[in-house]
Amino acid sequence: MSREKEKTYAITRVLNHNVVLVEEPGSGQEIVLFGKGIGFGAKPGITIPAQDLRVEKRFRLENENHQKQYQNILSQVDPAVVGIAEEIIALIAIEITPELNEHVHVALPDHIQFAIYRLNNGMEIVNPFLFEIQTLYTKEYALANRAADMIKNAFDLDIPDSEIGFLALHIHSAISYVPVKKAVQFTNIITDLVSLIEERTAITIERSTIDYVRLITHLRFAVERIRQQKFIKNPLLDRVKTTMPEAYQLATELAQYISTRLEIAVPEDEVGYMALHLYRLLQQN
């Protein structure tokens, strides 16, 4: 029998029927194990074989700062909340990608605890970016709906769409390695850009139309390219400048706003692509 098969984990904490914390032999490091029924009837001190077939996911925090933050979460957050957060993280790993930003193990239970507190105390959860989140992060929002059902079943709470939107941002943060605060900033930039377009053109863009979806989708990828400084060549740039002067002028104004918010210069080629999308929008209206 190999050493891997002989290795066992000692349970240090049972979070719920499906999630336990264990200590890895040798390193003494704490690991999260997720699997249906793995925590049922379990108690601290009991050992679990490393090759236990119930184990579906293993999570180990490598960053020392995250390890300390996670210990704080375990001491301050309801174990049931940490447990459901870890189940949601396992769902993300299974449904989208196993390569997750490990900070989600700290950020998600902290967020869920506060959301539950607000809902239990009748405090409204307002999400001004809900429609944009639903449109820009469709797979994250779909998974957030499932996460909301898990929270509802665990804590007997109705989860409003506004909170589902925030859960989607946490999922997006986990899979994209972009902090939630930054994801909110990007979404805010996009809504501000749309408002600026409407103000300058005197056009009201209906949020339910395909025009709006196309516009904010383009703006999202433009902002992400600019943030990541991924420059793309625009072979139509000179032509856009001469044949679409109004759209190019507006795109220049949008680029200046993005540059101010992100503190990054916006390439002229990117301005040209924004102008193309704006020209199409102006022609349709």
Buried b (16+ CB within 10 A) or exposed e, 135-154: bbbeebbebbeebbeebeeb
Q: Is 1 within the bounds of a domain?
A: no
Q: Is 128 within the bounds of a domain?
A: no
Q: Residue written as tokens 């909340």?
A: 81
162 and 258, same domain (yes or no): no
Q: Is 250 within the bounds of a domain?
A: yes
What domain count does the chain have? 3
90 and 192, same domain (yes or no): no
What is the spatial distance between Cα 18 and Cα 235, in angstroms, rounded to a whole number? 55
pLDDT(248) > 70: yes
Please tell me the predicted confidence (pLDDT) of residue 211. 85
pLDDT(224) > 50: yes
Mean pLDDT of the chain: 92
247 and 269, same domain (yes or no): yes
pLDDT(4) > 70: no
pLDDT(3) > 60: no
Please tell me the predicted confidence (pLDDT) of residue 5. 52
Residues 206-220, mean pLDDT to the nearest whole number: 89
Q: Is 248 within the bounds of a domain?
A: yes
Residues 235-261, mean pLDDT to the nearest whole number: 95
Q: Is 91 within the bounds of a domain?
A: yes
70 and 173, same domain (yes or no): yes
172 and 117, same domain (yes or no): yes
What is the spatial distance between Cα 123 and Cα 117, in angstroms, rounded to a whole number? 8
What is the spatial distance between Cα 270 and Cα 228, in angstroms, rounded to a whole number? 13
What is the spatial distance between Cα 140 and Cα 56, in angstroms, rounded to a whole number? 21
CATH number at residue 23: 2.30.24.10
254 and 222, same domain (yes or no): yes
Residues 74-88, mean pLDDT to the nearest whole number: 96
Query: Do residues 20 and 44 make contact, with C-beta atoms less than 8 angstroms apart?
Result: no
pLDDT(1) > 50: no
What is the spatial distance between Cα 95 and Cα 258, in angstroms, rounded to a whole number? 33
- 132: exposed, middle or buried (Cβ count in 10 Å: 0-12, 13-18, 19+): buried
- Residue 15 vs residues 12, 78, 87, 144, 263: alpha-carbon distances, Å: 10, 9, 10, 21, 43
- Give the model's confidence band at 233: pLDDT under 50 very low, under 70 low, under 90 confident, else very high: very high
For helices 180-201 and 245-262, angle between their N-to-C axes, nearest 10 degrees: 150
Residue of 126, 84, 75, 145 lying closest to 109 (CA atoms): 84
Q: Which residues contact 193 (CB under 8 A, 6 or more apart)?
A: 219, 254, 257, 258
143 and 163, same domain (yes or no): yes
Q: Which two tokens stand for residue 262?
A: 């992100």
Among 146, 177, 208, identify where a domain stops.
177
Please tell me the predicted confidence (pLDDT) of residue 278. 94
Q: Is 33 within the bounds of a domain?
A: yes
73 and 106, same domain (yes or no): yes
pLDDT(2) > 50: no
CATH number at residue 83: 1.10.1790.10
Query: Do residues 216 and 197 make contact, with C-beta atoms less than 8 angstroms apart?
Result: no
Query: Do residues 144 and 173 make contact, with C-beta atoms less than 8 angstroms apart?
Result: no
- Residue 125 vs residues 116, 118, 162, 170, 190: alpha-carbon distances, Å: 10, 8, 6, 16, 21
pLDDT(72) > 80: yes
Q: Answer with the residue of higher pLDDT: 41 or 1.
A: 41
Query: Do residues 85 and 147 make contact, with C-beta atoms less than 8 angstroms apart?
Result: no
Give the DSSP H/E element, type plus range, for residue 174. helix 161-176
| DSSP-derived secondary structure letter, 55 | -
77 and 162, same domain (yes or no): yes
pLDDT(24) > 90: no
| Per-residue pLDDT tens over the stretch 149-204 | 999 999 999 999 999 999 999 999 999 999 999 999 999 999 999 999 999 999 99
Q: Which two tokens stand for residue 218?
A: 């383009």
| DSSP-derived secondary structure letter, 264 | S
Q: Is 244 within the bounds of a domain?
A: yes
Query: Do residues 209 and 284 make contact, with C-beta atoms less than 8 angstroms apart?
Result: no
Q: Is 116 within the bounds of a domain?
A: yes
Dihedral angle computed from the Cα positions of residues 268, 272, 277 and 281, in that order, rounded to the nearest 10 degrees: 110
Percent of the chain predicted with pLDDT > 90: 79
81 and 32, same domain (yes or no): no
237 and 153, same domain (yes or no): no
Q: Could you tell me the residue range of the domain that residue 25 belongs to? A: 7-60
For helices 161-176 and 104-120, angle between their N-to-C axes, nearest 10 degrees: 170
20 and 46, same domain (yes or no): yes
